[in-house]
């Protein structure tokens, strides 16, 4: 091989390589950041179906939106507003570490896939629609409330989320209420992709290093799918119980303090006056 | 023998007219500040009465002072282990109501009130909360037996008095009261100092004045409950404990403390005592009945060359020893045995002594019988005086009547002696016999008379040279301090927790 040829091949490799990695990383990125809420041609999940999005929207708008959805919605953009309304007020979460370049690569990737040029499967194969078993539902409940620990030792859902129909005090109020999460995220598929890589900053920071296993995800899906409809359960009792317990606890604590310091002295003067008044009345 | 010097005091209760000039003088100088409005470093109580704060003498309630438990001296209010649990909540504090809610008046309305049907009035406003208040008590609410049935009847010193004696105290024509001016006693064995978890309280070496270091005080308030005389106060605004400082800036410049200086009845005496610090613990462990006498035995005779030598060896200046020899307090307490410590049973060994009041004895008997010269018991009327001896003994003798009786007899004998000399309605032989029975000589009687009635400023207040410069030089080289200070920085006493 002549020197020139060798240089030619090498430069070809160098020229081709970055492009290949870019495509590669966009595919990865899509899987990690987008796939739990979106499909390309598979119908809407928690977010819209992305097929043909480049035809529907300006490229620059798409990139801007991906980099900071909140800002675009906040800027009063009508398209974005309409979308928020369509998705019941849900705004796409900001993706950690999203840059202009990554967004551009993602837009390109989606466009390529929509046109069917990509040789990769359009999305993960649809879950077989097995009817969920009562066992799965029960396991999901146990995982949710933390009776059974998660395999990777992640925090139980109950710590931050509530869902109607839980016994006693219910769950935390930090995260959103998950009663209708099944419908909100677009059913089984949406839930599955969301749970396999939670995209919100808080969830991802908690579960990136402690991912849920496939078995656990199945159990959660079963649990959320079997949630009774919103109206069927009332939470009034539970909130009442919570306040009651708070009051009771306070009372108990005060009681303990009183016992501990029952020997403390109180004023005497008022008592003297009181005793005198009582005598005066008799 | 470990000789120390102490600036000590005598209040002659027979002379107090209850004018509160002392309290006002003190208030104007020291406690006219935010957070200190309710403090009366000097207060004057009417006895019988409950005092300020209400019933401060009831240590079952307030838990002040020391107690002997298993042959050991122990603070009543706290201990090293108890304080761990009570450090954020001292359970024996006087309440605001026990002192009183300090107030002023809404004078503005007198000028600004809109025209209306009624005369505008200046309503009372709390100096703590700034809100309108209903005044329910004050620091001398029971002055001159005001509200007797509430206050005088609940005087803790009435303990041990028969029902009849109690009833007589307030019966018509036998009604009796006297005044008890009080300041910090600058005790020899101060429980306030012992209780402080921050080590912020100390007894000055050169004069025994008990002080609170405002920079080290951490507001634990242990001293407030530990002082049985309730003479440490908590400044709720500054977050520090405060107490009588015996006007040390005045003492250091040779002036009597403000309350002494302003005293209208000239009841106050001040001078140095030398005492033996090594014996304090031994004396504090004595039973109640021997306490008063033992307390007095701590005080050393400055004329004794051995004592003077030991004092010198301890670094006490010659001028201070000389001052101790002239001390009016030494005379009243030691030489004459007239002045007694208040509530010695608290075992803090107060360095403020009281001459118990004799006043109403003279009028207990009707007509000529009052001067029944030939009576074999010339002092019988002391027992029939309006103020029961038992009552005075509860106040000044841990319940033991002997000390009080001795002081009263001697006072009475001096009166008779002077009566024989000036009025002449008592014959001299009887007067001499009384003096003799009261353990007094004519010379001593004259001296007592002199110091009680005709005393000058210099005789009442024998202030030793404080030699602060020497005390300071022991800690800091004055030349170095002078060179390093420049214009100097003074630190305020704000909250520093
Ligand atoms: S009277 Fe109270 S404050 Fe004063 S030294 Fe004695 S214990 Fe301390
Ligand atoms: S100023 Fe003197 S006489 Fe007047 S109340 Fe005070 S101690 Fe008594």
Residue B201, classed as helix, strand or coil, is strand
- Write the CB contacts of B264 (distance below 8 Å, at least 6 apart in sequence): B17, B19, B21
Q: Is residue B65 part of a domain?
A: no
Of B12, B16, B354, which is best to mutate to test ligand 2, by the most ligand atoms within 8 angstroms of its C-beta? B16
Instruction: Please write down the HEC assignment for all residues of A76-130.
Output: CCHHHHHHHHHCCCCCCCCCCCCCHHHHHHHHHHHHHHHCCCCCCCCCCCCCCCC
d(CA B156, CA B474): 46
Q: Is residue B280 part of a domain?
A: yes
Q: Is residue B286 part of a domain?
A: yes
* A261–chain B Cβ distance below 8 A for any pair: yes
Residue A236, classed as helix, strand or coil, is helix
Residues of chain B with C-beta less than 8 angstroms from the C-beta of A268: 54-55, 58, 61, 98
Token pair 């016999």 is at which residue?
B433
Q: How confident is the model at residue A226 (pLDDT cuts 50, 70, 90)?
A: confident
A184-195 pLDDT, tens digit each: 777 787 788 788
Residues of chain A with C-beta less than 8 angstroms from the C-beta of B89: 261, 264
Residues of chain B with C-beta less than 8 angstroms from the C-beta of A265: 61-63, 91-95
Q: Which residue has the higher pLDDT, A7 or A159?
A: A159
**Tokens standing for residue B353:** 């002594």
Per the structure, the complete domain to which residue B341 belongs is given by 265-460
Query: B352 — phi, psi (to 5°)?
Result: -120, 125
Is B228 near ligand 2, meaning CB less than 6 Å away? no
Atom of ligand 2 nearest to the CA of B11: 7
Q: How confident is the model at residue B364 (pLDDT cuts 50, 70, 90)?
A: very low
Query: What average pLDDT does chain A have?
Result: 78
* A265–chain B Cβ distance below 8 A for any pair: yes
Q: Is residue B57 part of a domain?
A: no
Inter-chain touch A264–B91, beta carbons under 8 Å: yes
Q: Give how far B135 is from chain A: nearest CA, Å.
A: 12
How far, rounded to the nearest angstrom, does the alpha carbon of residue B447 sit from its chain's CA centroid? Answer: 24
Query: What average pLDDT does chain B have?
Result: 90
Look at residue B264 in the predicted model and tell me its pLDDT.
96
Atom of ligand 2 nearest to the CA of B265: 3
Provide the CATH number for the domain around residue B385.
1.10.3650.10
Inter-chain touch B54–A273, beta carbons under 8 Å: no
d(CA B348, CA B186): 9
A161-172 pLDDT, tens digit each: 888 777 667 788
d(CA B255, CA B248): 9
Q: Which residue has the higher pLDDT, B317 or A173?
A: B317
Q: Give how far B324 is from chain A: nearest CA, Å.
A: 42
Inter-chain touch B85–A260, beta carbons under 8 Å: yes
* B298, B302, B303, B304: CA torsion to nearest 10: 50
Q: Is residue B446 part of a domain?
A: yes
Atom of ligand 1 nearest to the CA of B193: 8
Total domains, chain B: 1
Q: How confident is the model at residue A231 (pLDDT cuts 50, 70, 90)?
A: low
Inter-chain touch A272–B137, beta carbons under 8 Å: no
Let me know: does A38 contact A45? Beta carbons within 8 Å. yes
Average pLDDT over every residue of A175-202: 81
Bridge pairing between strands B210-212 and B232-235: unpaired
Measured in Å, residue B227 CA sits from the centre of ligand 1 at 5
B230-251 pLDDT, tens digit each: 999 999 999 999 999 999 999 9
A238-271 pLDDT, tens digit each: 667 778 889 999 999 999 988 888 878 888 999 9
Tell me: pLDDT of B491 over 70: no
A37-66 pLDDT, tens digit each: 788 877 777 778 888 888 888 888 888 888
* Inter-chain contacts counted by CB atoms under 8 A, chains A and B: 46
Inter-chain touch B54–A266, beta carbons under 8 Å: no
Residue of B nearest to A275 (CA): B150
Measured in Å, residue B181 CA sits from the centre of ligand 1 at 15
- Write the CB contacts of B368 (distance below 8 Å, at least 6 apart in sequence): none
Tell me: pLDDT of A223 over 60: yes
Q: Is residue B452 part of a domain?
A: yes
Nearest C-alpha neighbor of B420 from the set B437, B400, B440, B434: B434
Look at residue A35 in the predicted model and tell me its pLDDT.
78
Look at residue B372 in the predicted model and tell me its pLDDT.
44
Inter-chain touch B50–A269, beta carbons under 8 Å: yes
Q: Is residue B71 part of a domain?
A: no
* A270–chain B Cβ distance below 8 A for any pair: yes
Q: Which of A260, A261, A269 lies closest to B98 in CB terms?
A: A269
Inter-chain touch B61–A265, beta carbons under 8 Å: yes
Measured in Å, residue B70 CA sits from the centre of ligand 2 at 41
Nearest CA to ligand 2 atom 2: B263
Inter-chain touch B61–A268, beta carbons under 8 Å: yes
Measured in Å, residue B395 CA sits from the centre of ligand 2 at 19
Inter-chain touch A267–B98, beta carbons under 8 Å: yes
- Write the CB contacts of B373 (distance below 8 Å, at least 6 apart in sequence): B426, B427, B430
Residue of B nearest to A271 (CA): B150
Q: How confident is the model at residue B399 (pLDDT cuts 50, 70, 90)?
A: very high
Average pLDDT over every residue of B435-461: 95
Ligand nearest to the CA of B203: 1
Q: Which residue has the higher pLDDT, B73 or A16?
A: B73
d(CA A200, CA A30): 15
Single pTM value for the model: 0.71
Paired with B275 in beta bridges are B4, B299
Q: Is residue B91 part of a domain?
A: no
Measured in Å, residue B437 CA sits from the centre of ligand 2 at 32
B24-53 pLDDT, tens digit each: 999 999 999 999 999 999 999 999 999 999
Let me know: does B414 contact B445? Beta carbons within 8 Å. yes
Nearest CA to ligand 2 atom 1: B263
B284-294 pLDDT, tens digit each: 999 999 999 99
Look at residue A50 in the predicted model and tell me its pLDDT.
85
């Amino acid at each position: 091989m002549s020197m020139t040829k060798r240089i030619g091949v090498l430069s070809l490799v160098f020229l081709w390589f970055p492009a290949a990695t870019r495509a590669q990383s966009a595919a990865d990125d899509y899987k990690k950041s987008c796939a739990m809420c979106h499909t390309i041609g598979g119908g809407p999940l928690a977010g819209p179906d992305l097929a043909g999005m480049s035809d529907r929207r300006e490229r620059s708008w798409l990139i801007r939106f991906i980099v900071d959805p909140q800002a675009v919605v906040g800027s009063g953009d009508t398209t974005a507003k309409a979308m928020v309304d369509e998705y019941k007020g849900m705004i796409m979460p900001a993706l950690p570490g999203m840059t202009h370049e990554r967004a551009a690569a993602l837009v390109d990737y989606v466009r390529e896939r929509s046109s069917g040029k990509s040789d990769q499967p359009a999305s993960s194969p649809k879950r077989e629609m097995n009817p969920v078993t009562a066992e799965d539902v029960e396991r999901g409940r146990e995982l949710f409330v933390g009776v059974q620990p998660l395999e990777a030792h992640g925090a139980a859902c109950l710590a931050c989320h509530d869902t109607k129909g839980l016994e006693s005090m219910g769950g935390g109020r930090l995260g959103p209420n998950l009663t209708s999460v099944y419908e909100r995220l677009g059913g089984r598929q949406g839930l599955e992709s969301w749970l396999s890589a939670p995209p919100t900053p808080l969830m991802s920071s908690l579960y990136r290093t402690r991912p849920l296993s496939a078995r656990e995800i199945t159990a959660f899906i079963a649990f959320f799918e079997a949630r009774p409809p919103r109206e069927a359960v009332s939470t009034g009792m539970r909130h009442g119980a919570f306040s009651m317990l708070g009051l009771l606890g306070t009372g108990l604590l005060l009681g303990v303090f009183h016992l501990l310091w029952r020997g403390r002295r109180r004023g005497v003067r008022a008592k003297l006056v009181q005793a005198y008044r009582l005598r005066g009345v008799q | 023998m470990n000789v120390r010097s102490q600036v000590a005091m005598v209040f002659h209760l027979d002379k107090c007219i209850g004018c509160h000039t002392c309290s006002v003088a003190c208030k104007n100088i020291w406690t006219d500040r935010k957070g200190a409005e309710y403090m009366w470093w000097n207060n004057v109580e009417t006895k019988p009465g409950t005092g300020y704060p209400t019933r401060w003498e009831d240590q079952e309630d307030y838990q002040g002072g020391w107690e002997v438990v298993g042959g050991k001296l122990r603070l009543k209010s706290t201990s090293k282990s108890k304080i761990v649990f009570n450090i954020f909540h001292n359970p024996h504090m006087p309440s605001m109501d026990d002192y009183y809610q300090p107030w002023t008046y809404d004078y503005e309305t007198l000028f600004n009130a809109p025209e209306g049907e009624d005369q505008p009035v200046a309503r009372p406003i709390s100096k703590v909360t700034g809100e309108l208040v209903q005044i329910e008590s004050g620091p001398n609410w029971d002055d001159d037996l005001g509200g007797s049935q509430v206050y005088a009847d609940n005087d803790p010193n009435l303990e041990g008095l028969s029902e009849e004696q109690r009833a007589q105290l307030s019966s018509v024509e036998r009604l009796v009261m006297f005044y008890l001016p009080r300041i910090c006693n600058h005790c020899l064995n101060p429980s306030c100092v012992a209780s402080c978890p921050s080590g912020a309280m100390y007894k000055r070496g050169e004069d025994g004045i008990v002080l609170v270091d405002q920079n080290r005080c951490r507001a634990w308030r242990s001293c407030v409950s530990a002082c049985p005389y309730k003479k440490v106060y908590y400044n709720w605004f500054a977050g520090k404990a405060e107490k009588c400082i015996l006007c040390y800036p005045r003492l250091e410049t040779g002036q009597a403390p403000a309350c002494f200086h302003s005293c209208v009845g000239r009841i106050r005496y001040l001078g140095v005592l030398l005492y033996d610090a090594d014996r304090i613990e031994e004396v504090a462990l004595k039973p109640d009945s021997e306490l008063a006498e033992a307390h007095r035995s701590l005080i050393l005779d400055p004329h004794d060359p051995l004592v003077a030598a030991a004092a010198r060896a301890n670094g006490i200046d010659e001028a201070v020893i000389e001052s101790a020899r002239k001390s009016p307090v030494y005379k009243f307490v030691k030489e004459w045995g007239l002045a007694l410590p208040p509530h010695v049973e608290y075992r803090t060994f107060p360095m403020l002594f009281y001459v118990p009041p004799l006043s109403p004895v003279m009028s207990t008997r009707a007509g000529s019988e009052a001067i029944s010269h030939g009576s074999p018991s010339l002092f019988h009327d002391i027992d029939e005086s309006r103020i029961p001896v038992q009552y005075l003994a509860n106040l000044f003798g841990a319940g033991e009547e002997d000390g009080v009786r001795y002081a009263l007899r001697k006072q009475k004998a001096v009166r008779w002696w002077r009566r024989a000399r000036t009025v002449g309605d008592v014959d001299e032989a009887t007067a001499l016999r009384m003096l003799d029975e009261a353990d007094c000589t004519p010379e001593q009687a004259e001296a007592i008379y002199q110091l009680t009635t005709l005393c000058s400023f210099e005789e009442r207040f024998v202030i030793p040279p404080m030699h602060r410069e020497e005390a300071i030089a022991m800690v800091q080289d004055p030349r170095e301090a002078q060179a390093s200070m420049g214009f100097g920085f003074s630190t305020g006493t704000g909250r520093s927790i």
